Structure 1
Amino acid sequence: MIYENIYKDRLYTVREIDTLKEMLTSCKELFGKKPAFLYKEEKGGDYKEINFITLKDDVDALGTKLIDMGLEGENIAVIGENCYAWMVSYFAIVNGVGKVVPLDKELSKGEIINLLTTAECKAVFYTSSYKNIFRDIDIPHKFQMEVYSKKVQPEQENTWDHLLEEGRKMLGKGDRRFTDMALDPMEVRMLLFTSGTTDVPKAVMLCHKNIVSNVQDISRFVRLKEDDRALSILPIHHTFESSIGIMVVLFQGCSVAFYEGLKYVVKNLAEAQATLLVGVPLIFESMYSKIWKQAEKSDMTKALKMAIKLHKTLKKFGIDARKKIFKSVYSNFGGKLRMLVTGAAAINPNVVRGFQDLGIDIVMGYGLTEASPLVSGTPDFSDRYGKAGSSGQVVPSGQLQIMDQNEDGIGEILFKGPNVMLGYYNMPEKTAEVIQDGWFHTGDLGFVDENGWLYLTGRKKNVIVTKTGKNIYPEEIEEYLSKIPYIEECMVYGTDNEETGETTVSVQIRPAYETIKGEFGYADDPEQVYKLLKDKIADINLQLPNYKRVRHIVIRSTEFIKTTTQKIKRQENMIQ
């Protein structure tokens, strides 16, 4: 069965664009002097605004200079912290110069060299914190960007500011090689590397049509307010942040502020008066937990529960008093936060409902780099509260299928739409494995309910298959274990017994040491911590069928190895 978006008659109308160049041009015309980005000239300083006119003009200036340097048609990498220069460089490259290759800022030097070589890059833009890494890397053109730039010194060659100043002069003299360049919406313009960089890395090939169709689709079912501001905190090289956290926001005429680092998030939310936060479940689950821990410390748990009850009652009568009722909660997040957008992994449904009970809306979604990235999401006009465990409806221009379903309706998720990648760079065989008859085989498992809502159950390659042929989804067991307050994080996997041939369910746990210490005072005693967790897991096991029960527990003393979007890398953390 093929599933399509059931809300097609309720979607918001959006303007039609075919390229990101058209998006920036229309943004300049429609929103002009409205702020597009908020940045800081120095760390700890005040936010400054850059409007849509300046954004478009800066992209044109940088693109013009890069064309003049003979970089047309070349692959150009961008790496570094989230900042204005990063986004302008991205837009300039894809809007007429060549192909952009966004790189993960957490990569080692060896991995960076490997990816630059694989992508055949002729130039790289990097923030100044990477200057020592790039000092002896052999690449024809290296351009340094500044995250904070109190005093612009465009006279220094090979800097972003210098290129910008030179490009402005060329535009002033009538150079229109970049601005007049016609773009093919279907031409490869982005090369995005997925995980696996120590082996043969895979680069996802995307075009303008892929990105803009997704930007439009998201805007068809989530409408932002005129004065919304997002705080950019996720790695900017990732499509979740660049497409959803930035491009959707710009497309709708809203603004994006760049944060100074994770420990400054609350401070930056307040300074930027941010209303939107795009993040991953780990961030939001931590935020939610802190709200209740703070209430408990202040002996305000009962009052907070009463406030939630009042909010729900008033809401039934169409009265929105959440700003007054939850003033103390909102002040912890800058005072203006109204919406959270989560993706990259499944989020605890109780956290979704919990935030909504506090008057903060939360939008869920599911996507992959290969889909630019969104496959499904929860529209404004849907029951997000009742569907808290779902990743939503398929995007309006896409279609879903569930292949090889088991008795519970769970199977592999297949997706078709204009946002599906063109393929993997120089890997036709790998491309043919995952794209068949236009359908992208995601490798993710899930099911669709009677109303067309998608629910994720795990990754196909993570499924534990027992000797009797039973399938166990690690993510399901992890969700049960996450209810134990003494577990910070966990990873479930299968362990084979060499003697019996049986597959048992094992779990690695990073304990919530602070919580354990606060309640029991023995966080430094490994034996007591192990006994506590073993007893709690025994209680959880009683809720599970025999074959799904956890039999083997490993306590971790170190954090899990993760991706930059905070997903646990299962293979790299595996302990038998």
Structure 2
Amino acid sequence: MYKNLKENYPLYEVREISSFRDLLDSGATIYGDRAAFKYKVDGEVVSVSYKEFKGAVDAFGTALIDMGISGKHIGIVGDNCFEWVRSYLAILASDSVVVPVDKELSAEDIKNILTDGDCEVLIYSDGATESKITEIEADLPNITHFICMSVPSVKDDKHYFAGDIVSKGKELLDGGDTRYISLVPDNQVLKELLFTSGTTGKSKGVMLSAEALIFNIINGQKLMKITDTCLSVLPYHHSYESTTGILVMMHAGMTICINESLRSVLPNFKLYKPTEVLLVPLFVEKVYRGIWDKAEASGKASTLRKLIKVSNALLKIGIDVRAKLFVSVTSAFGGRLKAIVCGGAPLKPQLVEFFESIGITLINGYGISECGPLISINRPCYRNSEAVGILLPEMEIKINNPNENGEGEICVKGRNVMLGYYKNEQATADAIRDGWFHTGDVGKLEGDFIFITGRIKNIIILKNGKNIYPEEIEEKLSIRSELIAEIVVKAIKDNEENERLLGAEIFPDFERAKTLGIDDPESEIRKVISEYNEKEAGYKVIKKIIFRTEEFEKTTTRKIKRKYN
């Protein structure tokens, strides 16, 4: 449980590392037999120490070099699992380039990324992913090695089992092979190639150096207090989880418990008893609703509200009894959870207030793949729930062309900024100008804190010249009504087809309405928008409401594809 201070406090001390080889070697030396990873195999929990993990990575990397796989682009696609992480670290510590790919993409999209990313080797998991790879294999002539994390359906001179490769690598290491472990890294060249899941167009390949990733590892920890155990939930192909959820946690010597599926999240909270977890706001909101639904169903909602009121009153006079008062709620998270770190979308105030009330701190941050991904984060004891935190140490920030409210495009500098977009000089020149990376996000600075208003590409310009940030209105309306599952605010034409007005396209939360006993959610949402309109400036009034019967089309990271504006 963290107190929120009125002023910032000194940075946490963090040990420096010179390379990913140093990350592996120093981790094994410092943390030794401490559990680096825990995961399930056939329902039983397996624990891998830091020393054992280094051995597994070195064996895999050594065997890859023996197979002639050096200086290659290597794709990884598949489920979150220990083998994914082992492959990822083995490539990071090599002279090759890692290309993480989203397993939820279609076979065609996976093929395009592997082709555009010039991949010559592919590491993949079994099941649905293996089926997709089998479907597109004939269209991937440049890939010479297909390596399955589990025993593949076919093993030959092109198809391999990762377990066999590790065994071969151990033999080579035992025989004195040092080709892999003695590699001298170049931290300035391309190390990771991330293909973004854009909400409006084709994905671009973000080129990150080892230096950019190491910058994230070190400077992220200077702001955050790292604890001892995390539950790893979010997809590994995304830099939010691969950088902050794996690399940062490894550097800090945490035990990383790998969650195998969305259905297993809550059971795994109880099993592994984590002290922190990285999540997206959508998941946190589902957990929040689940807690209240359960309380309502059991007749304990009124008691919970009273306890929160009493606890908050006691906190104001310096008495903290949350651990005892809310044990029946926090036990669902294993009983040790201190913080939930969120990114990817704004946090609703009621979520922050509720979790704070029961003794779990919600910490919001801001990142973008092009920065590997961290730009800012709220600190455990210095935070503003409406902001996305304070800038990482050793970074610079400016607001480009601010308006009368101080809002403009967020631009940053730092060693974590990408090298550029892969084979796309024009896009690189558009994004990095005069040394500043233009994020495409609109925001403002207030003291130490960064606030985000919206995205430049989503701005609606009305006929009167007013700029509307649709995300700002969408957030306000979503906060006002839990019956709004999804919303897109967009420009519409008036009856004369000559003036742009504001409309809202909404997908109601029909399941939530049913739970609350509401037969006509659309009428309830109209009331909420009417109340909103009464209090807002005329140019921000919603003139037209369109209700959907299906969800909006989304990216694989669950962001709405904004082709509706």
TM band (smaller chain): over 0.9
Cα separation, 2, equivalents of 1:275 and 1:32: 21
The match for 2:272 is: 272
SS of corresponding position for 2:402: coil
Which residue of the partner structure matches residue 467 of structure 1? 463
Deviations 1:427-455 (A, max 9, x none): 12211111112210000001111x22101
Question: Is the partner of 1:204 in helix, strand or coil?
Answer: strand
Give the deviation of 1:322 after TM superposition: 2.2
For the 8 Å contact 2:212–2:416, the answer to whether it is kept is: yes
2:195–2:203 contact (8 Å) kept in structure 1: yes
- Structure 2 CA distance for aligned equivalents of residues 296 and 199 of structure 1: 43
Change (3 A) 1:7 1:417: farther
Alpha-carbon contact 1:46-1:271 (below 8 Å) kept: no
1:258-307 CA distance string (max 9 Å, x none): 11211221001111122211011111122222222322222323322232
CA 32–353 in structure 1, closer or farther in 2 if over 3 Å, else same: same
Q: How does 1:60-75 map to 2 (within 5 A)?
A: 60-75=58-73
Give the deviation of 1:554 after TM superposition: 1.9
User: Which residue is 1:530 aligned to?
Assistant: 522
Q: Following the alignment from structure 1 to structure 2, what is the Cα–Cα distance between the partners of residues 381 and 196?
A: 34
Partner amino acid, structure 2, of 1:171: L
Q: Deviation at 1:176?
A: 0.3
* Paired residue secondary structure (1:564): coil
Kept after mapping to 2: 8 A contact 1:66/1:97: no
Report the 3-state secondary structure (helix = DSSP H, G, I; strand = E; otherwise coil) of the residue aligned with 2:535.
coil
C-alpha separation between the residues in 2 aligned to 1:242 and 1:175? 29
1:314 CA drift (Å) = 4.3
* Equivalent residue, structure 2, for 1:243: 243
Task: Give the secondary-structure state (helix, strand or coil) at the position aligned to 2:485.
Answer: strand
- Paired residues for 1:137-536 under 5 Å: 137=137, 138=140, 139-146=143-150, 158-196=160-198, 201-225=203-227, 228-316=228-316, 318-382=318-382, 384=383, 387-449=384-446, 451-482=447-478, 483-497=480-494, 499-520=496-517, 522=519, 528-536=520-528
Change in CA separation of 1:100 and 1:488 when aligned onto 2, cut-off 3 Å? same
**Pairing of 1:546-561 with structure 2 (within 5 A):** 546-561=538-553
Corresponding residue for 2:3? Answer: none
Equivalent residue pairs, number: 550
Q: Counterparts of 1:156 and 1:547 in 2: how far apart (Å)?
A: 62
Distance between the aligned counterparts of 2:111 and 2:453, measured in 1? 36
- Return 197-206 or 266-275, whichever deviates more: 197-206
Instruction: Report the Cα distance in structure 2 between the residues aligned to 1:169 and 1:519, rounded to whole angstroms.
Output: 62
Measured in 1, the distance between the counterparts of 2:359 and 2:375 equals 26
Q: Which amino acid aligns with 1:69?
A: M
Residue deviations 1:142-193 (CA, integer Å, cap 9, x gap): 00013xx9xxx99996011011111111101000000000001111111000
Name the aligned partner's letter for residue 182 of structure 2.
Answer: D
Q: Quick one: which amino acid aligns to residue 510 of structure 1? A: F
CA distance in 1, matches of 2:495, 2:174: 74
Q: Secondary structure at the match of 1:391?
A: coil
Change (3 A) 1:500 1:374: same
Question: Which stretch shows the higher mean deviation, 17-26 or 207-216?
Answer: 17-26
Cα 1:71–1:154 change in 2 (3 A) is closer
- 1:211 and 1:162 mapped to 2: Cα distance? 30
Deviation, 1:350, is 2.7
CA-based RMSD of the aligned residues comes to 2.3
Contact 2:27 2:253 in 1 (8 A): yes
- Once structures 1 and 2 are overlaid, which stretch shifts more, 282-291 or 317-326? 317-326
Please report how far the alpha carbon of residue 374 of structure 1 lies from its aligned counterpart in structure 2 after TM superposition. Answer: 0.7
2:197 and 2:557 in contact (8 A); partners too: no
Any conservation in 2 of the 1:275–1:338 contact (CA below 8 Å)? yes
* Distance (Å, rounded) in 2 between the aligned partners of 1:200 and 1:339: 35
**1:345-371 deviation digits (Å, cap 9, x = unpaired):** 111123112211111011110010000
**Counterpart code for 1:168:** K
Letter paired with 1:414 = C
**Aligned residues with identical type, % of pairs:** 38
SS at match of 1:96: coil
- Read off the aligned partner of 1:564 and give its amino acid letter: T
Instruction: Provide the rounded CA distance (Å) in 2 between the counterparts of 1:201 and 1:69.
Output: 32
Which stretch of the first structure deviates more once superposed, 254-263 or 400-409?
Answer: 254-263
Q: Which residue does the alignment assign to 2:108? A: 110
CA contact (8 A) 1:123 1:141 kept: yes
Match of 1:525 in 2: none
Contact 2:234 2:279 in 1 (8 A): yes
In the alignment, what sits opposite 2:559? 567
Counterpart of 2:149, as a letter, is M
**Contact 2:199 / 2:555 at 8 angstroms: preserved in 1?**
no
- SS in structure 1 at match of 2:497: coil
How much has 1:320 moved relative to structure 2?
4.1
Aligned partner letter, 1:566: R
Distance 1:72 1:156, change over 3 A: closer
Query: In the aligned structure 2, how far is the partner of 1:313 from the partner of 1:534?
Result: 36
Residues 58-108 of structure 1: CA distance to partner in whole angstroms, max 9, x if unpaired?
Answer: 111111111111111110000011111101111111211400000011111
- Which residue identity lines up with residue 330 of structure 2 in the other structure? Y
Residue 158 of structure 1: SS of its match in structure 2? strand
Determine if contact 1:111/1:198 at 8 Å carries over to the other structure.
no
Structure 1 unpaired stretches of 5+: 1-5, 523-527
Q: Give the 3-state SS of the residue equivalent to 1:426 in structure 2.
A: coil
Give the TM-score normalised by structure 1. 0.91
1:93 is matched with 91
Aligned to 1:544: 536
State the partner residue of 1:3. Answer: none
In the TM superposition, 1:7-156 aligns within 5 A as 10-42=10-42, 45-129=43-127, 130-135=129-134, 136-137=136-137, 138=140, 139-146=143-150
Conserved 8 A contact 2:501-2:543: yes
CA contact (8 A) 1:67 1:97 kept: no
Once residues 155 and 312 of structure 1 are traced to their aligned partners in structure 2, the CA distance between those partners, rounded to angstroms, is: 65
Equivalent-residue separation in structure 2 for 1:100 and 1:267 (angstroms):
32
Deviation sequence 1:383-403 (CA, Å, 0-9, x none): x2xx11000110011111001
1:453 and 1:318 mapped to 2: Cα distance? 26
8 Å CA contact 1:47–1:271 kept in 2: the answer is: no
Separation (CA, whole Å) in 2 of partners of 1:315 and 1:198: 46
Task: Give 1:311 deviation, angstroms.
Answer: 3.0
Mark the runs of 5 or more structure 2 residues left unpaired by the alignment.
1-5
Question: How much does 1:318 deviate?
Answer: 5.0
Paired letter, 1:511: P
> d(CA) in 1 for partners of 2:273 and 2:157?
35
CA distance in 2, matches of 1:361, 1:277: 11
Shift of 1:533: 2.4
The CA distance in 1 between the partners of 2:200 and 2:318, in whole Å, is 55
1:308, distance to aligned residue in structure 2 (A): 2.1
